Amino acid sequence: MKYLLVQEDEDGVEQLWGRCAGVEGLFVDPVPLPREILTLRGCSPDGLLSEVLAEPDVSLRSLGDVSVEVRDDHQSVQWWTLLDAVVVAHQPHPDDPARYDIVLGAGVRKDESYFELPATPRFELFAGTTVANSHAGRCSAVDGLF
């Protein structure tokens, strides 16, 4: 037998459930998330996002994975990961031409949610999904997450 099927209880004790000669589908890639269209409203780009927006002749600009952290005045309350994010379009924000409205295409994964969405949330963007990620900007709203 090549595989053992076991259950681990809350104390870490394993119980043998069965033995298998083979397992189909165990080592396949996960099904990709469906692509969503999101609009980052009133964005102040920083780092990678600023660099990508500075390339005006490129039609689709890849950001890779982007983390979106939703904050209230004191703490982070929700996290989202935008997988394989691509900038589709951008334009100056109508109320503040120094900010942008940015349209992204991405797979969306909700990572954490501890609290209700605050009345006036802040959206912080980070390029990458590891502890070494870099700040990519902040937005006043993100259409398409909720």
Q: Which of 98, 62, 99 is nearest to 82 (CA)?
A: 62
pLDDT of 136 strictly over 80: yes
- The position carrying tokens 């090549």 is 2
Nearest-5° angle of CA 89, CA 91, CA 94? 145
pLDDT of 144 strictly over 70: yes
Distances (CA, A) of 44 to 35, 70, 137: 24, 15, 5
Output the pLDDT for position 129: 60
Q: Confirm if 71 and 121 have CB atoms less than 8 A apart.
A: yes
- The position carrying tokens 């994964």 is 109
Question: pLDDT by residue (tens digit) across 47-100?
Answer: 888 888 887 666 678 888 999 988 887 878 888 899 999 999 889 999 998 999
Q: Confirm if 105 and 91 have CB atoms less than 8 A apart.
A: no
Give CA–CA dist 28/30, Å, rounded: 6
Question: pLDDT by residue (tens digit) across 4-62?
Answer: 889 988 888 999 999 988 888 877 888 888 999 999 999 999 988 888 888 766 667 88
pLDDT of 128 strictly over 80: no
